Structure 1
């Protein structure tokens, strides 16, 4: 797979097992640009997984794709779970080994049949719910898609729905912005038996007013992360650092970011997360195809491997696979997911 490639585009430590706990499958989001917003289906994902790193399992995360077109509004997100499952069937068993879907937890107790429908549709792969709660008062976010109401995580209706997760053995993926991390810590304290997985290092913002005071913003983010780390049921995904919200000059740059540039930009965030939560509560994520707007799949994992090179074997095993496998209750796996010959020859990049 690496013939003709050189330097940053060759996977380092290719035998290190990786569980990628956060990727999407979708038809594209124009706002993310021609890289991150392109159509990304199974052939595209398999081409990335087979590019040199040893990816043994993945977790597909909701992104509003392929909902049912009709029927009760509350049940329409179950169509995405069926889409993920169908995308994985016939491929390696590690592909979409876990599925995280969407349900409107503001339905309160009435969300129970939606959760049960997801579990049934997932055929043993459904692991949890993500309900995006990211909101910020900066005017830049006034037109944010799926903009939630203020105080969603403390809303009594939302919490009544949230209480339905643990009895079904389901976790919660939290997609928020960093000023909301304290609210998530309060939610984690109120539901100590529910695993809460913080996506994208808590949405550290570097645009709008937040981008004008980077040192203060980083300190506020760190304080929030320290508060959340005090909750034993909280874990964090390290990734999503290639999105535009961080304000990085590497986003959508031509030529794309080098591994050295990624290491320099991401190291302070990665090291802070591991310092606060410990490696056994942190997991690296690709967030593909969104983060492809900044770098390739090979370069992303090379950067994480370089940043963690000096840590112990146990810490790295947790960060690259163990924490994700435990968080999403995945079976042991050692065989790398590899694309079929057709996918290697002609990945679908339309």
Structure 2
């Protein structure tokens, strides 16, 4: 049981100086929800967006929030893309600032349902024709339950190998949508198999493949890094896979910031994150890598301002074109984001 409340660090670090404030950021992953343990809706996100970094837009990624409470099972996820589209329209009005929140939307589709996934996909596209650009069904699986302790919706084990998954994926591919793959590092070969089977479909690897350390197991983080790096190297050979550098504030990596009572500044974050961020960019290149806040989930470890400062600090010696790709251009191209 953690002593520190899970989201205590959400507001920390707003007094930090903003590094390279001129860099335009398209936040490649964030969530909005209203749950008993946390309310994080448009206003909360705007409070973070307006804290100093130049966030010009964002990609909304599903968390099965605001799903329809009744009706056919296949149509319940439509509620979330409708909600996100409403948020996008509100932000697009300009009344709340220049940031195009939820400019592209990645919705939930139950990928175990085979051909019936088409019902969900077409319904989402019908209600959100301009912004619905991709789908996600979290596929994280691990025999140690403690690893998945913060996961709100548990996927079925071995989702990517489940009956019906490839049939469902064919419908995703046929509609020109992207797929966000959220897995742990030992599952990366499965993502590679998927990429090989569907070479014309863009697959976004969420959270840089989550090099997962086993809680309380000595040496687990070092072991995970070596296996993760080898798996990432193999996966990077698939040109249709893009790496989203996000989720570094989650528990899976074993950095220990969640359990910390004291605030965490950007330099300490950067020191811990640097080997993973630099390795991901080395393997995938800036034109196939993108940055995301994964807020509010990463708020378990650090504030929004230190998070972006840390990512900027790690790549401070990169070229201007590489920084533009990492912080804006790659996400804009992959998720086909309209920032106008």
Which residue number in structure 2 is paired with residue 344 of structure 1?
Answer: none
Task: Write out aligned runs for 1:47-62 (5 A).
Answer: 47-62=47-62
Q: Given the two structures, how large is their TM-score scaled by the length of structure 1?
A: 0.87
Measure the CA separation in 2 of the matches of 1:301 and 1:76. 34
Distance change (3 Å), C-alpha of 1:139 and 1:301? closer
Q: Is the aligned partner of 1:175 residue 2:210?
A: no
Which residue number in structure 1 is paired with residue 64 of structure 2?
Answer: 64
Q: Is the aligned partner of 1:284 residue 2:291?
A: yes
Measure the CA separation in 2 of the matches of 1:260 and 1:232. 33
2:120 to 114, 136, 140: 114
Which residue number in structure 1 is paired with residue 16 of structure 2?
Answer: 9
Measure the CA separation in 1 of the matches of 2:203 and 2:217. 25
TM-fit CA distance, 1:89: 2.0
Most deviating of 178-187 and 139-148: 139-148
Q: SS state of the match for residue 19, structure 1?
A: strand
Asked if the contact 2:74/2:119 (under 8 Å) is kept, the reply is no
Q: Is the aligned partner of 1:99 residue 2:99?
A: no
Q: SS state of the match for residue 260, structure 2?
A: coil
Which residue number in structure 2 is paired with residue 140 of structure 1?
Answer: 146
Which residue number in structure 2 is paired with residue 85 of structure 1?
Answer: 85
Distance change (3 Å), C-alpha of 1:111 and 1:329? same
Q: SS state of the match for residue 256, structure 2?
A: coil
Q: Given the two structures, how large is their TM-score scaled by the length of structure 2?
A: 0.90
Q: SS state of the match for residue 185, structure 1?
A: helix
Q: SS state of the match for residue 294, structure 2?
A: coil
- Aligned Cα RMSD in Å? 2.0
Measure the CA separation in 2 of the matches of 1:302 and 1:316. 13
Asked if the contact 2:61/2:106 (under 8 Å) is kept, the reply is yes
Asked if the contact 2:60/2:102 (under 8 Å) is kept, the reply is yes
Q: SS state of the match for residue 113, structure 2?
A: helix
Cα deviation, 1:243-273, whole Å, max 9, x if unaligned, reads: 1122222125232211110110110000000
Q: SS state of the match for residue 157, structure 2?
A: coil
Task: Write out aligned runs for 1:315-330 (5 A).
Answer: 315-330=322-337
Cα deviation, 1:39-96, whole Å, max 9, x if unaligned, reads: 1000001111111111111001101111101100111011011111112223236111
Asked if the contact 2:247/2:293 (under 8 Å) is kept, the reply is yes
Which residue number in structure 2 is paired with residue 261 of structure 1?
Answer: 268
Most deviating of 17-26 and 214-223: 214-223
Task: Write out aligned runs for 1:209-224 (5 A).
Answer: 212-224=219-231
Distance change (3 Å), C-alpha of 1:179 and 1:141? same
Q: Is the aligned partner of 1:129 residue 2:138?
A: no
Task: Write out aligned runs for 1:165-314 (5 A).
Answer: 165-208=172-215, 212-314=219-321
TM-fit CA distance, 1:152: 2.1
Segments of 5+ residues of structure 2 without an aligned counterpart are 1-11, 94-99
Measure the CA separation in 1 of the matches of 2:66 and 2:251. 25
Which residue number in structure 2 is paired with residue 151 of structure 1?
Answer: 158
Distance change (3 Å), C-alpha of 1:134 and 1:210? farther
Asked if the contact 1:101/1:129 (under 8 Å) is kept, the reply is yes
